[in-house]
């Protein structure tokens, strides 16, 4: 199959799945900003999503996109390493035209994966998972289930811990680098690679990535500040 047998096809799959994940990030960012404005409003969104069938279908779709993106990322990386052969061990000057993020996408991707695991542990495992277990007739802790739809509570609890604050900010920093390169690179793989548009996409990538990451970081910092004020 072309999408798996050719290098171009694999890059297309990487691009399409990456753009889909970027769209989800945009939604998630907007949703998180609501938590700063109104805890009740944020909890209403959490309750609307919860373990309802449409939310579960979306979650399964996102998981599939993420797994495919990771598999193809490693696949392309190994393919590039194999193509370079013994040359990859040679000591050479790094080309000035190649971005740092481009040279370290695998490492950045691994940090993003670890950060996602931490995020799932702090939120998905305490919100949607208990509801899902309860709906399936499985045992779920009563207290955990009672707070499942209280997303604002979980944000406050998580970001009142300085360790989590630092870990999330490091994760977001890596995500920024990953997005700044990945977004415009996806557009290039999909054919928007002429000299005029590639420069525009690079500019759009930097602006978009900065806005998204700053908004996510704002939520972390605001709730950490609230926890400090509450302790005064």
Q: What is the pTM of this model?
A: 0.83
Following CA atoms 147, 149, 152, 154 in sequence, which dihedral angle do they give, to the nearest 10 degrees?
Answer: 50
CATH number of 2-91+103-231: 1.20.1300.10
Residues 6+ apart with CB under 8 A from 217: 168, 169, 172
Residues 43-70: pLDDT tens digits?
999 888 877 788 889 889 999 999 999 8
Contact 112, 216 (CB under 8 A): no
Residues 140-175: pLDDT tens digits?
666 666 777 788 999 999 999 999 999 999 999 999
Six token digits for residue 178: 């990953």
Q: Residue 89 pLDDT more than 50?
A: no
pLDDT at 98: 53
Question: What Rg do the C-alpha atoms of the chain give, in angstroms?
Answer: 20
Six token digits for residue 14: 């990487």
Question: Average model confidence (pLDDT) for the chain?
Answer: 84
**Cα 212 from chain centre:** 10
């Amino acid at each position: 199959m072309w999408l798996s047998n050719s290098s171009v096809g694999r890059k297309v799959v990487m691009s399409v799945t990456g753009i889909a994940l970027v769209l989800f990030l945009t939604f998630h960012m907007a949703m998180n900003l609501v938590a700063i404005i109104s805890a009740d409003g944020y909890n209403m969104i959490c309750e609307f999503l919860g373990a309802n069938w449409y939310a579960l279908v979306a979650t399964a779709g996102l998981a599939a996109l993420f797994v495919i993106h990771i598999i193809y990322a490693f696949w392309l990386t190994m393919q590039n390493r194999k193509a370079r052969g013994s040359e990859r061990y040679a000591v050479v000057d790094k080309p000035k035209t190649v971005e740092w993020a481009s040279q370290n996408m695998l490492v950045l991707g691994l940090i993003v994966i670890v950060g996602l695991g931490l995020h799932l542990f702090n939120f998905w495992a305490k919100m949607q998972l208990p509801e899902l277990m309860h709906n399936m007739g499985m045992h779920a802790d009563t207290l955990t289930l009672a707070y499942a739809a209280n997303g604002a509570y979980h944000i406050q609890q998580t970001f009142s811990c300085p360790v989590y604050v630092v870990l999330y900010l490091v994760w977001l920093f890596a995500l920024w680098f990953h997005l700044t390169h990945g977004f415009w690179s996806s557009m290039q793989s999909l054919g928007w690679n002429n000299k005029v548009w590639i420069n525009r996409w690079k500019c759009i990538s930097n602006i978009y990535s900065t806005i998204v990451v700053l908004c996510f970081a704002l939520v972390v910092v605001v709730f950490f500040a609230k926890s400090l004020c509450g302790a005064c």
